[in-house]
Every structure is written in C-alpha cells, then in structure tokens.
Amino acid sequence: MTKAGSTLAAVGAPVRAVRLPRRRGVELSLLVLAVLLSVYGYCAVGLARSGTVPPGAVGYGAGLGVLALFAHIAVRIRAPYADPLPLPIGVLLNGLGLVLIYRLDLETPGDRAAPTQLVWSTLGVGLFIGVVLVLRDHRVLQRYAYVCVVAALVLLALPILFPAVNGARIWIRVAGFSIQPGEFAKVLLAVFFAAYLAANRSALAYAGRRLWRLQFPTGRVLGPVLTIWLVSVGVLVLERDLGTSLLFFGLFVVLLYVATGRTGWIAVGLLLAVLGAVAVGRLEPHVGGRIEDWLHPFATIEAGRGPNQLAQSLFAFAAGGVLGTGLGLGHSILIGFATKSDFILATAGEELGLAGLAAIVLLYALLVERGYRAGLALREPFGRLLAVGLASLIALQVFVIAGGVTGLIPLTGMAMPFLAQGGSSVVTNWAIVALLVRVSDSARSQYDGREAP
C-alpha cells in the first residue's frame, strides 16, 4: 500500500490515479503453478510408463521455469500493468503440450518430437520477450498494415512452390525444418484487418448505395474485402487447407461486424462462406472426402477398411470418459501419424478425460476473454480491433481443430494452439500472447475510469 501510495504521489496526475493494480505478483505465482503442473505431468507420464520419475524432470522443469522467469521479467520491465493471466496460460498450455508430445514420443522411439518442440518453444518465448521489449506501443503496427498484408500473402503463396504433404500443400521445408507459413500469416492478417477496418469503418458502415434494405459500400472500400475472401478460398483450393481459409474468413467477418456493427455483414459472410465451401467441397476431392468422413465417420469400418483417423479419434475421446485413463496410459497412438500434431487433443481427451479437456478449453476461453477484456478497455479503434482479432483468432482456431477431432465439424489439418507439435504454430502463438500482453498493458495503464469496461 505504501508503495502504491508513493507511486501515486510521485506521478501526481489525477488520470493516473485510477490505474489498475499491476498484479505482477499474481502473474509470478501463476507461472510457478504452471511450471509445477507441467513438471508434475512429465513425472506422471514417467511413473505410468516405467515406474520411475523421468531423468530429465529437473532439467526440463528448470528450463521451462527459466523461460517463464525471463518472460516474466520482460513483462515487469516493459509492460508492468499487463493482464497477469495470458503469460501463465501460455506457459501452462505450452508445458502441457510438451508433456503430451513427450508421452507420445515414448510410443514412437524412432521419432522424437519433444526436444524439437522445446527448441521451438524457446524461440517462441524469445519472440515473446522480443515483442514485449521492442514494441513499446502497439499502435506502431498500424503504420505497417500494408507491409503486413503483403508479407502475409507472400507467406501464404510460398507453399504452392513446395510439394504436398499428406494431401495438403501448407508446408515449406528448409534445411530439415518444416515451416507452416500460414501460421505466421494469420497474425499479420489480424494486424492488417484491424488497421484497415479502423481506418475505413465509417466508409464501410455508411457509404455506398442502398439496395432494398441493405446498405452496400462503395467498390473502392469493398474491393479489399472481396479480395480477401477470394484469397482465402484460393488458399483452400491451391493448398487444400480448409482450416486456414475458414480461420481467415471467420476472423475477417468478426472484425467487420465489430467495426461496423452491421449484422448484414455476418449474413453476407455466412452466405459467401457457404457458397465457397459448397463449391470447393464439390470440386476438390480432398475437401469433399473430409466432409464425407465427418458425415459418416464409421463408413470405412462398415466398408471393411478399418477405422479412419476421425473414428480412431472418437474412440480415443470415448475411452477417456469423464476422468481419463491417466497420463501415459491411453492408446491414442492407434490414431496414426498425426497424433502429435492435428490429433493431440485426442490424447488429452483420452488420458485426462472430459475433466482435463474441459480444463484445457477453459484455459483457452480465459485467454480469449482476457483479449476481449483488453479490447473493451482500450480507447482507440486499432487497439480494440487488434485485441478482438487476436482473441477471436484463438477462439476460432480452437473451435475449428477441436470441433474437427471431436466430430462436431469437418476435420481440418490445423494445430491446437500451444499444445500441438509444430514450430511455426508455437512461435506464432507466443507472438499472439505477446501482443495481448502488450495491448492489455496499454489498456490497463491508460485506464482513466471515465468508461467502465
């Protein structure tokens, strides 16, 4: 109290007098908890599989702890008012992902992914620290909106030059590493959308001609919208990536609605999405097959060809039941080659049960909610839209991939944020958390009490 009081006295400005508390101690406690939970999971896997605590437990725990500590220090220095939740949530999900990947590594002795994932996680946290330290004000990004969109389109187009992997053309392979540029593109696009819509929202909302009850914007303003829609469908067709196009499109529609408040945009967006999906589902056999699998997950069993990946995933979730089999004791390896990436949630569902799965979904929900909260607290349109965009990105991606592996919607090859194996994904998600920390710091430090969020 005395410390807070002295700060107030030193600054002396009435606006700053209602700044929200810093809560850095809360963040540190939660980080310790997140690291301990991850180490506990790691030990649980070892105990279940071999009856002993795995030899690397202390080392990995210390490694994760040091990463978390550095990130925390960076936040303390450059974003002291930031929301205390996003960083611990990121560490916990990343740590849990490492545990699950390590656990799945035990089933495939020839293919160890956990060490690589640890390297990528380190890079991700490094990027987080870099963003928090270097980006003093998120509004700077507004200036680079067009750089972002060009970079995003280039990244999206790159994999077309590379051969398809497992039917989808979304990877590029450089020096033994495979990178999924679409992952990076999504953050760049979120920045661009936020900047574009912040600049043009009045034109989108009110300009243009009126047709019956719909207000259409001018072609100059509408042009980029249609372009983005065509690009997203183009990505789908050329790269057979239903998930990424759905993600981009969903992100765009959400931001458009938030920027203009026009429900009509949602209707138009849904209509375009359905048209695009139907057309592509018809024309593209890879995507059509996914839809068939979703509608009839057990068709391959009835045809005598054995269960497909989706059926195996459903079996895994069902086997978990309410409480799960316990870490290391499930059989999600039956799902096949994508267990560590697309289907890692099935392992969580089998070994941690509905209880564990609900906890994971709630962690994501908390992260999303914290993003929205920062958006609501900010006072300028770009920041608001950026926060909403990043939060929606997480929610949409979790929905698309988790809905896919549990049979709610057609399956798309996407990575569960933080959990799944995949360097580009982990690095990107740390960048998202870094931006959320940054905007929440702005929101909470400039909070002036004139409008309650």
Partner 1 sequence: MTEYGPLPDGGRPTARYIRHARAFCALLLAALLANAARVQVVQSREYDGNPANRRATIARYQQPRGNILVDGRPVTGSVDTGEQLRYERSYPDGPLYAPVTGFASQRYGTTFLEHAEDGVLSGTDPLLRPLPLWSDVSRARGRGGDVVTTLDRRAQEAAYRGLAGRKGAVAAVEPATGRILALVTSPSYDPAELSGNSEAVVSAWARLNHDPEKPMLNRAVRQTYPPGSTFKVVTAAAALDAGVVTDLDERTDSPDPYRLPGTTTRLTNEGEGCADASVRDAFEWSCNTVFAKLGVDVGARDMVATAQAFGFNDTEVRIPFSVAPSTFDTRVDRAQLALSSIGQYNTRATPLQMAMVAAAVADGGVLRPPYLVERTTRHGGAPLSGSGARPGRQVMRPATAARLAELMAGVVREGTGTNAAIPGVLVGGKTGTAQHGVGNTGVPYAWFVSWAQSEDAPEPEVAVAVVVEDAAADRGEISGGGTAAPIAREVMRAVLAG
Give the interface with partner 1 as residue ranges (CB under 8 A).
201-202, 206, 254, 257-259, 261, 298, 301, 306-307, 311, 314-315, 317-323, 325, 331, 334, 349, 353-354, 357-358, 361, 364-365, 368-369, 372, 375-376, 379-381, 384-385, 388, 391-392, 395-396, 398-399, 402-403, 406-408, 453
Q: How far is the CB of 271 from partner 1 (least distance, A)?
A: 17
Query: Least distance (Å) from partner 1 to the CB of residue 63?
Result: 31
Compare residues 338 and 357 and give the one whose CB is closer to partner 1: 357
| Helix, strand or coil, per DSSP, at residue 210 | strand
Residue where the block lists tokens 């605590």: 53
The CA-based angle 179-183-188, given to 5 degrees, is: 125
Please state the closest distance from residue 30 (CB atom) to partner 1, in A: 21
Largest distance between two CA atoms of the chain: 77
Residue closest to 413 by CA, chosen among 211, 160, 243, 172: 243
CB of 311 to partner 1, least distance (A): 7
In contact, 102 and 63? CB cutoff 8 Å: no
Which is closer to partner 1, CB of 128 or CB of 315? Answer: 315
Shortest Cβ distance from residue 295 to partner 1 (Å)?
A: 15
Identify whether the C-beta of residue 80 lies closer than 8 Å to the C-beta of residue 72.
Answer: no
Using DSSP bridges, classify how beta strands 177-179 and 172-174 pair: parallel, antiparallel or unpaired.
Answer: antiparallel
With respect to partner 1, which residue has the nearer C-beta, 133 or 334? Answer: 334
Q: Cβ distance 244 to 235 under 8 Å?
A: yes
Q: Where are the alpha helices (DSSP H) in 83-165?
A: 86-105, 114-134, 140-143, 145-157
Q: Which is nearer to partner 1, 26 or 365 (CB)?
A: 365
Is residue 86 within 8 Å of 436, Cβ to Cβ? yes
Give least dist CB 320 to partner 1, A: 6
> Dihedrals φ, ψ of 214, to 5°?
-95, 140
Give the tokens for residue 153.
């389109």
Closer CB to partner 1, 132 or 385, in the complex: 385
131/277 with CB nearer partner 1: 277
- Cα distance between the two ends of the chain: 25
Contact 263, 257 (CB under 8 A): yes
Residue whose CB is less far from partner 1, 129 or 311: 311
Q: Residue 169 CB, nearest distance to partner 1 (Å)?
A: 27
